[in-house]
Amino acid sequence: MATSIDVRAKLVFLGILAAIAIAAGVWYSVSAATYARYEIRSREPVSGLIAGAPVEFHGVEVGQVKEVRLSDPRNVRILVDLHREAPVTSATVATITGRGVAARGFTGYVYVSLEDAGPPGVPLATAPGEAYPVISIAPARSVSLDTSITDLNRSVQSVIALLQSTLDAQTVASMKESLAAVQQVTRTLAANNEKLGSLIANAERASTQMQPLLQSSRATVQTLQTQLLPEAQATVEQLNRLTANTNEAVRYLQTQTLPQAQRTVTRLDDLTGTLNDTATRLRRNPSILVRGDAAPPGPGEAQ
């Protein structure tokens, strides 16, 4: 009887183990169908990142960290399970980010942030010789309160050092002198407030008197544009035509009148020479007018 009870207990125990194994297999199959595993490699410290940490894609949780371990003394291997619907491509970049009041602990946590960098990429596939697709990684980032306070403290110290180096004794004295000068100018303006008011009133009256002058100036400009400029343009055109006619007359004078005048003068010179020769002959022998031109003298005859 006892033996049968032990056998039954063993059978029940084996049944429970088989049910657990079947449930685990079913869960693993469902998980494998729902999630895809990726690998991230980092050369930077990943302090605070543990298994179970969330993985976010553009601020939306799409999976969790499954394993964080050293692959060699200088590299960390991080395995993450992501929903298959997560748009992981060759352009996706992972960043180890710390968030919260502190970098890690109860007041802060570290997670993996995924973002697309650059132009759209292609779906990420497993490279030859690799167990899982490898996601690129960017430098780690910390947005915790303690690091922000530390950065703020450094900035305040830098500003204080700059102010101390700038506001030396000479600069402070110069600023005091400038303030004193400004106060003196303010007092002077307050003392001459009435004069300033009268100047402003005179300026307003002058502006009202300038209005008719501006109107007359506009009328003058309009008259200049509508009457004087067209008349001047017409005069210039007439001068251009007159210049063209003058040039034509000069060319006619040079090509025809002057050559004819030169030929006439040449003929007059020839005629003058002939008349001079005739006059000389008449002075020598006036009888030519009665007898005509005499025969040339013979041998031995005097001229």
Residue 78 within any structural domain of the chain? yes
Q: What percent of the chain has pLDDT over 70?
A: 78
Residue 80 within any structural domain of the chain? yes
Q: How many Cβ atoms sit within 10 Å of the Cβ of residue 94?
A: 23
Q: What pLDDT, on the 0 to 100 scale, is given for residue 106?
A: 45
Closest by CA to 67, choosing from 131, 14, 122, 125, is 131
Residue 41 within any structural domain of the chain? yes
Distances in Å between the alpha carbon of 115 and those of 51, 89, 122, 282? 21, 10, 14, 133
Q: What are the φ/ψ torsions at residue 156 (nearest 5 degrees)? A: -65, -40
Residue 159 within any structural domain of the chain? no
Residue 74 within any structural domain of the chain? yes
What does the pLDDT look like over 182-202, one tens digit per residue? Answer: 888 888 878 877 777 777 777
Question: How many structural domains compose the chain?
Answer: 1
What does the pLDDT look like over 125-141, one tens digit per residue? Answer: 888 999 899 999 998 87
Residue 92 within any structural domain of the chain? yes
- Would the pTM count as exceeding 0.85? no
**Does 257 score more than 70 pLDDT?**
yes
Is residue 116 a contact partner of residue 89, using CB atoms and an 8 Å limit?
Answer: yes
What does the pLDDT look like over 1-59, one tens digit per residue? Answer: 555 777 777 777 777 887 787 777 666 655 556 889 999 999 988 888 899 999 999 98
- One DSSP character per residue, 5-34 reads HHHHHHHHHHHHHHHHHHHHHHHHHHHHHH
Average pLDDT of the chain is: 78
Residue 157 within any structural domain of the chain? no
Domain span at 144: 33-149
Residue 125 within any structural domain of the chain? yes
